[in-house]
Chain A
Amino acid sequence: MSGVMSDPTTMDTDGAAIVERQRRTLDDRSWPYQGPRLRALGFEFGIRASTEEVGGYLGTLFEPFEAEGEPRRVYSFLDEPDQDMRYTVYFDGEHIVSSVDAAGAMRHLQWDVNERVIAPNRDYLLVHAATAAADDGRAVILPAAMESGKTTLVSGLVRAGFRYLSDEAAAVDPRSGLLHAYAKALTIDEGSWEVLSDLRPRLPAALEPFAHEQWYVPADAIRPGAVAPTARPAFVVAPRYEREGRTELLPLSRAQALQTLVENAFNFRLFDGRTALFALADVVRRTDCYRLTVADLTEACELLLELFERSEGADDGGVA
């Protein structure tokens, strides 16, 4: 890839010393923007930036993760116009990426946060899925592989009035079976810009390059208060985008839904396999399951809205 340099830092003794030296060098700089402590599914971090404008933008994207206190580990986002690689990101002293363009640096920052939230997580069963909830706390899990249209669908749902939990990971508490929010900014690829054109971020000229590859849209920018608190899974719907197909919702057996959840699980192996399987089985036993072919986003959102409306009242559970 031209214009972007990222390197997994070697963490041997020499590597650790280099990282520590880099961390001290970064700490000694002045930072016009130093954000609050952030907490996403147990991963704690902060963000500081070399310009107030970039820092303010990043702070907005990560706002749903704000927590009390000071961050102990921080991402440093450097914007140095006089450098060939203008944008550089570190996590503490660990080099994450250097990039000639803002979009490349943003992509790596978002990817790195995701990795640190998801890969080592032993508190939640994490399934590659988008998740949204109705105001009454009933939620839909939308498990699917990459490029299946999860973000597009959940963006459409939030725009249609649903509340947002995540466009990346369904976080299931294996003890309670409840869903927790991982409310990262919706990351909307260029292929969906047309159908979600009203969600285009309105950025000052200096920040527009950050959105050249992907739009980063905080759910609260779609509707204030759109991020859901803890929610209870009521539906598992496996979406698949088919440009030329017909939008339809078909029943899926609970066993097939469980298979889909397991196949899309990020951290199944960090749990005892039986514990994880039984926890997800408990989730699907309490849900109605479907397969959703999405050819038209509006129609797909209407089908899901009808699904929630039809089962309203038939469902006596509540959000814990």
Chain B
Amino acid sequence: MSETTLQPKDIDGTAAPRPRRTIAHVEIDGEGVLYDEGSNQIHLLDPIATVIWSGLDGTTTLEELSAELSSAFGADLDRVRFDVLEAVRGFAEQELLENGASPQAHRAQPESEEEGDGEPHYLKDPPSP
């Protein structure tokens, strides 16, 4: 396990995790498949976990991601927050995540940069093969 591997206990709404660099990800028909080149493990994600995984960019906090998903799907924020934290703790349990930018550094960014182009991160396409 690398020093930057994120542990489940580190996961709260202020965390901004990102996939470990050894993880390859493809999405097929809304389901994600992750392959960890380090451990040679394969992981299958259901559609909800796939959407959450796609939002883990190392800069967006889980609280922000929850708000984005709640807004996009018209779902209750508390319920979405619960699902996001549970899913991300599961990813961390599987040692799939590492720390992104520290929440402090992230929060120190100007508001305009933080919001970028306003496009929800989880809607971005996975890298093209």
Co-complex (A, B): yes
Is A254 close to B, CB under 8 A? yes
Docked complex Cα distance between A208 and B42 (Å): 44
Tell whether, in the assembled complex, residue B33 and residue A277 are in contact, meaning their CB atoms are under 8 Å apart.
Answer: yes
Is A258 close to B, CB under 8 A? yes
Q: Mark A252-281, 1 if CB is under 8 A from B, else 0.
A: 011110110011000011000110111101
Listed by A's residue number, 12 A-B pairs whose Cβ atoms lie within 8 Å are A253-B29, A255-B28, A255-B32, A255-B44, A256-B31, A258-B33, A259-B33, A274-B37, A278-B24, A278-B26, A281-B28, A282-B129
B residues touching A (Cβ–Cβ < 8 Å)?
Answer: 22, 24, 26, 28-29, 31-33, 35, 37, 40, 42, 44-45, 129
Docked complex Cα distance between A256 and B129 (Å): 19
Docked complex Cα distance between A273 and B37 (Å): 6
Cβ-closest chain B residue relative to A269: B40
- Majority secondary structure, B binding face: strand
Tell whether, in the assembled complex, residue A277 and residue B35 are in contact, meaning their CB atoms are under 8 Å apart.
Answer: yes
B26: chain A residues at CB < 8 Å are 258, 277-278, 281
Cβ-closest chain B residue relative to A263: B42
Tell whether, in the assembled complex, residue B28 and residue A268 are in contact, meaning their CB atoms are under 8 Å apart.
Answer: no
- Majority secondary structure, A binding face: helix
Q: Lowest 5 A-B CB distances belong to which pairs? A: A278-B129, A255-B31, A273-B37, A274-B24, A281-B26
| Count of CB-CB pairs between chains A and B under 8 Å | 50
Q: In the complex where A253-B31, A273-B35 touch, is A262 in contact with B129 (Cβ < 8 A)?
A: no
| Docked complex: A274-297 residues within 8 A CB-CB of B | 274, 276-279, 281-282, 284-285
Cβ-closest chain A residue relative to B38: A273
Q: In the complex where A273-B35, A277-B24, A282-B129 touch, is A259 in contact with B29 (Cβ < 8 A)?
A: no
Docked complex Cα distance between A169 and B98 (Å): 36
Tell whether, in the assembled complex, residue B35 and residue A262 are in contact, meaning their CB atoms are under 8 Å apart.
Answer: yes
A279: chain B residues at CB < 8 Å are 129
| Docked complex: A223-276 residues within 8 A CB-CB of B | 253-256, 258-259, 262-263, 268-269, 273-274, 276
Q: In the complex where A255-B28, A258-B26 touch, is A281 in contact with B33 (Cβ < 8 A)?
A: yes
State how many angstroms separate the Cβ of B22 from the closest Cβ of chain A: 8
